Amino acid sequence: MTDMPPPRIDAHFVAAGKYHDIDYARLEVLKLLGEHPQVRTTVACDYGDLDRLAQCRFLVSYTCDLMPTLEEAAAIRSWLEAGGKWLALHGTNSILVFTESGLVDAPNDRPDVMEMLGTQFKAHPPIGPFRVEVVSHDHELTRGIADFDIVDELYLSHTTAKIDLLMQTRFDGEATGFVDGQWQDCVVPILYTRDIGAGRIVYNTLGHCRGHYDLPGMADFYPHPERCAWNYEVYYDLLRRGIVWAMREGD
């Protein structure tokens, strides 16, 4: 008797936004999704295809300064409450505004989205090394992973709702160039879960990347491409675990 093949799983991937090498991140995530032939993924540059989302078990997002509309956000929340899963990556929780002073602000213009996600990006220090601490060692996303050092863009955020921390770091210092630039000995979420009804969000804040041509209007050619967490096997391990979690029905 031959084993039955696994059933098809539908997924939707929103990959778009500013100041990042979205093409690189999109391709890398699609490669990981492609390790599971039963996963059929559609790719979009915004959150507008709500009909498609309704057909999917899970949503993946790698964005920066890209928000769903009010209608789209309400539909995503309803989908989550009914049992959907959202694997949110890096800049999904970011809104960026350049002020007249030249500083970057992260205004609270979309509390509906930020409450749903559980955090809102506010600033980041210059790219550099930091230590990631595993807070929960008994979770499927972290089991067997020890604390590790990584070089990445550290996303400093405000917590907007109840989240369950799996990984964290601490930061004390200045986020140069941001309105919210001063941070004193704060806990920084790196990986966490947030329950919404019968559904769940897993948010992984790591994963900055930028190529030569990702700052239009600011720099025609950015001389030093940045891959950050994408240079580390532990990041790919976390992404793979997130995908396996998202593929499974239920929690």
Q: Find the angle CA(209)-CA(213)-CA(216) to the nearest 5 degrees.
A: 110
Q: What is the pLDDT of residue 1?
A: 53
pLDDT recorded at residue 2:
65
What distances in angstroms separate CA 148 from CA 145, 209, 227, one per listed residue?
Answer: 8, 19, 17
Set out the domains of the chain in order of their start, with CATH numbers: 9-247 (3.40.50.880)
- CA 66, CA 9: separation in Å to the nearest integer? 26
H-run or E-run covering 219: none
Strand partners, 89: 62, 204
pLDDT at 37: 97
- Overall pTM surpassing 0.95 (yes/no): yes
Task: Give, for all 251 residues of the chain, the pLDDT tens digit.
Answer: 568 899 999 999 999 999 999 999 999 999 999 999 999 999 999 999 999 999 999 999 999 999 999 999 999 999 999 999 999 999 999 999 999 999 999 999 999 999 999 999 999 999 999 999 999 999 999 999 999 999 999 999 999 999 999 999 999 999 999 999 999 999 999 999 999 999 999 999 999 999 999 999 999 999 999 999 999 999 999 999 999 999 998 77
